[in-house]
Structure 1
Amino acid sequence: MPTPPEPDLSALASLAHELAITMARVVGDMALVVDGHGVIAEVAEGALGPIAGCDQWVGRRWIDTVSPGSQVKVLSLLQEVTLCGATTLGRELMHPVPGQADLPLAWSAIRLGSHGPVLAVGRDLRAVAALQQRFVEVQQEMERHYWRYRLVQSRSQRLYQVAHDAVLVLDAGSLVVLQANAASAELLGRRLEDLLHQPLTDSLPVSLLGSVLELLVATRSSGRAVNRRGCGTGPSGRLDMAAAPLTVDGRRQLMLRLRKELGGAPGDGGVDEVLALSRMAEVVETTADALVITDADGGVLMANPAFLRLTGVADESLLRRRLLPELMVDTQGAWAAMVDEVRRVGMVTGVVLEVGTPDGPPRRVRVAAALLAEGEPACIGFAGGVEPLPDP
C-alpha cells in the first residue's frame, strides 16, 4: 500500500504567527517560527510564562539560543524537518538562562510548506528532570544503606573472628548461642562446639549466671548497649562485660563481650582505647586495597600500607592533614570533584580515576567512597584498587 503524500501546508505559512501563539497555549509551553536560514522570526510563550532573555531570541539563529551540547541537536532537527516536513522524534534542548540553571525543553517541529517557515513547539521538562534527579538520589541512598549494611556485617564477622575478648552472638529471645569465638570458649572453660547452638545459660558457671542474665535482660529491654565493670566471677576471675542489640535479617540478636577485669578506675577507657586502636590497625593493615580516611575537606586522617605504596610516601605521618587531591597529583580536578560528590550524595562507587606521578606515567584506580557520618566531625572513607592502563 503506497504511503500517502505529505499534506501541503503552504497555505498556513502566512498564519505562522497566529499558529505559534495557539500551539504555545494549547499544545506546549513555547513556540517558535524559524525561517529557512534557521533564524527565529517569532517567539510565543504559553503556560510556561516568560523565560529570561527569550524576548531577545527574535533575529537570532536558533542554534545560538541553546547550550553548546545541544547545538548538534538543533541542526539535526532542522535537517529532518527539511527532508521529511516534520520531526518524527522530539529533541531535548538545553537553553541557558541568565543567573539560573539551563532550561530543558523538548522540541517538535513541522514545516509549513516546502518553502515555508518551520513551526517549532517546546514543552518544559523541568518537572521531569527534577523527578529523574530525585530517582537517582533515592537509588544512591538505597545503595548507600546497602553498602553500610554489608560493612556492618563485615565488621561484625571481623570482630567475632579476631577480637581478643570473648565475643558471643545470641538469639535475643532464647539466648541460644549463634556464634562464638575461641576466646569465649577458653574464658568460660568450655569447648567451642559445646557452646554453639545451645542456650548460653547452660554454659555459664553459677557465679556468673546472675550477672550475665541481668546484663542481657537490660540490653534487650532498653534496646541500647549496656556495660558492666567487674561484675560476676568466671573461671578466670572477675569480668568486665558489655552487651549490644543487633538486628540481622529481621532477627533480633544480642552481642555479648566478656573480658578479664581491666586495671584502672571505673570509667577509665585508656586500656579499652589502646585495644580498640590495635584491632583497628589490624584490620587496616590486612586490607589488600588502598584505604584512606579523610576529613570532610579531603585532608588525610588515616591510611594503610597499600595507600602509602600508591602515593610513594614511606611514612604515614607525612600524609596527615594533606589534601587527597594534592597527594593524587590531581591536575584535572577529578579527585576534588569526587570529594565534593561524596559530601553531596553520601556515596560514590566504581569511579576510575588517575593517580599522577611526578616522574612517571599515571596509574588508574577504581575507587569507592562513602561519607562516614556516624561520628563528629564527619569523615570520608576511600577504598581503591590499581587497574592497568589501557594499551596506547
Structure 2
Amino acid sequence: MKAFKAPKTSVGHLDAEAVSGLVVASADVALVLDEAGAIRDVGFGSDELASDLGNGGSWLGRAWIDTVSRDSRGKVEALLDPAPPQDAPRWRHVNHVLAEGATVPILCSVAPLGRAGRRVVFGRDLRPLSQLQQRLVEVQQSLERDYSRLRQAETRYRLLFQMSVDPLLVLDSESLRVLEANPSAQRLFAGATRRLTGRPLPELFAMSDRASLQSLLTTLRNAGRADDMRAKLFEEGPDVTVSAATFRQEGSILFLVRLETDAAAGASEEETGLGARLLKVIDGAPDAFVVTDQDARIISANAAFLDMVQIGAEDQARGMSLERWMGRQGVELDVLLATLRSRGSVRLFTTTLRGDLGAMTEVEVSAVAVQHGGEPSYGFLVRDIGPRTKPAPRTANGATRSVEQLTELIGRVPLKDLVREATDAIERLCIEAALDLTGDNRASAAEMLGLSRQSLYVKLRRYGLGDLGPDDHVEG
C-alpha cells in the first residue's frame, strides 16, 4: 500500500467530520475499532446494506469478531494481526451474521486510524457479485442440461435407427445418394451390391420403377410430402413399399426412406395377433393391471383392478385419477410417480388400494414408464398381498408407527398422542421421499421441504435416517 506523496499539501488539514465522510464514501460499510477490536462506531455508504444490518445499532460496543460467522473468525483475527505476514491478503471475505441467523458476505480490509491504536474497517457488499455468480452457475447448468438432452436425443435416434426391423436409408436430397443405411437395409441389399453407402437410390431399383421413384423423391423435395409407392428392388429383387419423409440437419435437407417388404407386412400382422392375445391375457390376469397417462389419469384397467376398487365397469374408472383409489396418504402416489419419471420403473412399492365401498387392500405395485405416440404412459401391476401381510412389530423408542399400529392405539392413548404419532409418520415419509427424489442430496432435500439444513439434520437424527456420522453437522 502506498500513501499520498504530499498529503499535507494535497489534502490539507481535515477535521473529524470530513474524515468520517471520506471513510463512509469509500465503502458500503465502515467500522471504527478500538485497540481491543471492539466496534466504537458504524457508518454506511449503502442504504440497502444499512437497512439489512439494522444500521449496525446492535454492534456498538461488541467485539468485531463476535459479529461474524464461525467460519470467518480466523479471517478477522488475521486482519487484526498487528504484524501480518508479507504475503497476507489485504482484503478478506467475511460473513456477518444478521439477527435472524442469515449471513451477509462483505469484503473487508483494515487500516490504522490515528495514533490511539484505533483502526477502521472498510467493507464492500458482495451480494451483487454473489447473485451474478449464481446466475452464471444457473446459466451454465442450463446449457449443460441442454447439451445433455441433445446427446441423449442423438443416442436415442442412433439406437432406434440401428435397431429398427424395417430397412431405413438416409439420402442427400440433391444427389439422392445413400448417406446412411441401418443393418436391416444392408441385409436387404446384401445380394445386389457390395457398397450401399454412396450409391444413388434409383440405381438400387428395377429399371421400370426408377422414373416413378425419381418422381416421388422430387415431389417430396418440393412439397415436403409424397404418397407411398410400390417398387421392385433391382431386376430380380422383391417388391417393397417405399415411404419417405424429409428432415433438416446442419442446414441441409435429407430424406429418410423406409422400405417395407411383403414378408415384413406379414410379420406385422402376426405381431398384431400376438398383441391382441397379450391384451386378453392381461385382462384375465388375477393381478390388477392399469394404464395411465403422465398425470396418472386412467386410460385402461383390467377386471382384477375393477374388483379391487369395487366398481362395475371400466368406463367408471377411465379418465379418473389413480390417486382416488391408491395410497394411504396423498404423498405416496406422488413419491411413486416421481420415482417412475426419474428411473423409468419401480418394483415392489407397498401401499394400499381403497375401494369405493370401503374395502382396504394391502398391495405391492410394480410400474413402468413407456412412450406411446410421443407421450409418456405408465403401466401399474398391482398385486394383493393382504393374505401374506403380517402385523408389523412394535417400533423402538424414537421410531414412527405405521397407520395400522396407530389405529390399534385408538381408545388406549389420548388423541393428542395419536396426532403427534401421525405427524411423525407423515414427516418421516416426506423426508424419505425428498431424499429419494434428490439422490440423497441433503441440501436440495432441505430446500424442497422448506427446512434449513440444520433443521433437516436434527430430523434425520431423530428418525435415524441418512446414515449420519457423529461428525455430521451444519456450519453456522
TM-aligned CA distance change 1:194 to 1:113, over 3 Å: same
TM-aligned CA distance change 1:330 to 1:99, over 3 Å: same
Alignment identity in percent? 28
Tell me, yes or no, if the aligned pair for 1:164 and 1:183 is still in contact at 8 Å: yes
Q: Distance in 1 between matches of 2:202 and 2:439?
A: 59
Counterpart of 2:310 in structure 1 is: none
Q: Distance in 1 between matches of 2:183 and 2:439?
A: 49
Partner-residue secondary structure (3-state), 1:300: helix
Tell me, yes or no, if the aligned pair for 1:91 and 1:106 is still in contact at 8 Å: yes
| Corresponding residue to 1:65 among 34, 44, 67 | 67
Q: Distance in 2 between matches of 1:332 and 1:194?
A: 50
Equivalent residue letter for 1:317: S
Alpha-carbon distance, 1:194 to partner:
3.3
Q: Distance in 2 between matches of 1:339 and 1:233?
A: 60
1:334 and 2:440 aligned: yes
Counterpart of 2:147 in structure 1 is: 146
Tell me, yes or no, if the aligned pair for 1:95 and 1:104 is still in contact at 8 Å: yes
Q: Distance in 2 between matches of 1:54 and 1:46?
A: 11
Tell me, yes or no, if the aligned pair for 1:17 and 1:33 is still in contact at 8 Å: no
Partner-residue secondary structure (3-state), 1:38: coil
Query: Structure 1 length as normaliser, TM-score?
Result: 0.57
| Corresponding residue to 2:247 among 240, 245, 252 | 245
Partner-residue secondary structure (3-state), 2:249: strand
1:130 and 2:131 aligned: yes
Q: Distance in 2 between matches of 1:165 and 1:58?
A: 81
| Corresponding residue to 2:339 among 293, 296, 299 | 299
TM-aligned CA distance change 1:302 to 1:263, over 3 Å: farther
Alpha-carbon distance, 1:65 to partner:
3.0
Superposed counterparts of 1:19-30, under 5 Å: 19-25=19-25, 27-30=26-29
Greater radius of gyration (CA): 2
Q: Figure out how many residues of one structure are paired with residues of the other and give that number.
A: 295
Q: Unpaired segments of 5 or more residues in structure 1?
A: 265-269, 275-293, 309-314, 343-360, 363-392
Structure 1, 210-219 or 320-329: larger mean CA deviation: 320-329
| Corresponding residue to 1:75 among 65, 74, 77 | 77
Q: Distance in 2 between matches of 1:101 and 1:212?
A: 72
TM-aligned CA distance change 1:60 to 1:100, over 3 Å: closer
Counterpart of 1:317 in structure 2 is: 366
Structure 1, 94-103 or 164-173: larger mean CA deviation: 94-103
Equivalent residue letter for 1:232: R
Counterpart of 1:232 in structure 2 is: 230
Tell me, yes or no, if the aligned pair for 2:168 and 2:182 is still in contact at 8 Å: yes
Counterpart of 1:280 in structure 2 is: none
Query: Structure 2 length as normaliser, TM-score?
Result: 0.48
Alpha-carbon distance, 1:114 to partner:
6.2
Tell me, yes or no, if the aligned pair for 1:51 and 1:97 is still in contact at 8 Å: no
Q: Distance in 1 between matches of 2:97 and 2:219?
A: 63
Map Cα deviations across residues 252-301 of structure 1 (whole Å, 9 max, x no partner).
Answer: 5443333358879xxxxx96xx8xxxxxxxxxxxxxxxxxxx99973224
Alpha-carbon distance, 1:106 to partner:
1.1
User: CA-atom RMSD, angstroms?
Assistant: 5.1
Flag the structure with more relative contact order, 1 or 2, with Cα contacts below 8 A and sequence separation at least 6.
1
Q: Distance in 2 between matches of 1:148 and 1:336?
A: 26
Q: Distance in 1 between matches of 2:68 and 2:45?
A: 19
Counterpart of 1:51 in structure 2 is: 51
Q: Unpaired segments of 5 or more residues in structure 2?
A: 8-13, 276-333, 348-363, 370-377, 381-428, 449-465, 468-476
